[in-house]
Amino acid sequence: MLTRHIAHSSPHMLFEFRGLEALPCGCVVADYVATLLSLDVAAVEAKGPHCTVRHHGRGSLLTPDELGSGAAAAWV
């Protein structure tokens, strides 16, 4: 598990990066907050080399039930 990185937000930033998490399939998910809406968003940053989940592609959004029980699941 990677540690969270707390970024300093700017009023001009649409999204604020909060952290990274590796999924069991090998994909890496990033957590962002849409600053104007205060909405958490989890997106695939890198597809795992052996991932068989068809919709896991770079930039695809994930639902909370797809995140498992890691730290990323608590973000959404």
User: Is 40 within a domain?
Assistant: yes
7 part of a folded domain: no
> Is 46 within a domain?
yes
Is 8 within the bounds of a domain? no
Q: Which residues lie closer than 8 Å to 49 by C-beta, 6 or more apart?
A: 26
Q: Looking at residue 14, what is its pLDDT? A: 83
Number of folded domains in the chain? Answer: 1
Q: What is the pLDDT of residue 58?
A: 92
Separation between Cα atoms, residue 58 and residue 35, nearest integer Å: 22
CA 29 to the chain's CA centroid: 4
Q: Which of 9, 16, 12 is nearest to 75 (CA)?
A: 16
- Residues 39-60: tens digit of each pLDDT: 888 999 999 999 999 999 998 9
Distance, in Å, from the CA atom of 43 to the CA atom of 57, rounded to the nearest integer, reads 9
Report if residue 65 sits inside a domain: yes
Read off the pLDDT of residues 13-39 as tens digits, 9 standing for 90 and up: 788 898 999 999 999 999 988 888 888
Local confidence band at 1 (pLDDT 50, 70, 90 cut-offs)? very low
More confident residue, 73 or 32: 32
